[in-house]
Amino acid sequence: MGKTKNLTQIYGYMICLVSIIVFLTSVTSIINAVIDKTDPLHSTYDSQQLATFEVYKLEQMKSFNTKDPEIKKELPTDAQLRNIYNDIRQEKINRVVFQSNKSIIVSSSLILLCIIFFWTHWRVAHKNFFKIEEES
């Protein structure tokens, strides 16, 4: 009988420990998502720099310079490039905001579950701890 109570107590404390670890990683995930959401253009390391139109234009001009004389690429006009830049920029902002919202919702749900698991298992483990002490 005492062995079963000890195993129940160990099980309860292990679930509490796992809950704390998941809680901490979820809090970290929420913090990262909030930071990403505040500045979506700098949130990830993309090969394309979209912070300013000038940097984007410079990158495009570099990509149009080829060493092969047979391939002639024509650089789009500034208006066309600006439209492309604005579309790509908006798509990145939308993607980062969506991912941040998703991360916040999932992590918040995990935090809620961790609190419930921790609270219930802590009570069970603590109840068994006092029962074991009373029997000794």
The CA-to-CA distance between both ends of the chain, in Å, stands at: 13
Residue 25, Cα to own-chain centre: how many angstroms? 10
- DSSP per position, 63-122: HH--S-TT----PPPHHHHHHHHHHHHHHHHHHHHHHHHHHHHHHHHHHHHHHHHHHHHH
CA dihedral (65, 69, 71, 73) positive or negative = positive
What is the DSSP code (8-state) at residue 40? G
Residue 41 per-residue DSSP state? G
The whole-chain average pLDDT of the chain stands at 84
pLDDT tens by residue, 80-112: 888 988 998 899 899 999 999 999 999 999 999
The residues spanned by each domain of the chain are 2-135
pLDDT grade for 68, boundaries at 50, 70 and 90: low
pTM, 2 dp: 0.74
Res 28: pLDDT: 97
Contact 38/96 with Cβ under 8 angstroms? Answer: no
Name the band, by pLDDT with cuts 50, 70 and 90, for residue 75: confident
pLDDT higher for 1 or 46? 46
Question: Which two three-digit tokens encode residue 45?
Answer: 């390391």
Q: Is 46 helix (H, G, I), strand (E, B) or coil?
A: coil
Inform me whether the pLDDT recorded for 136 exceeds 60: no
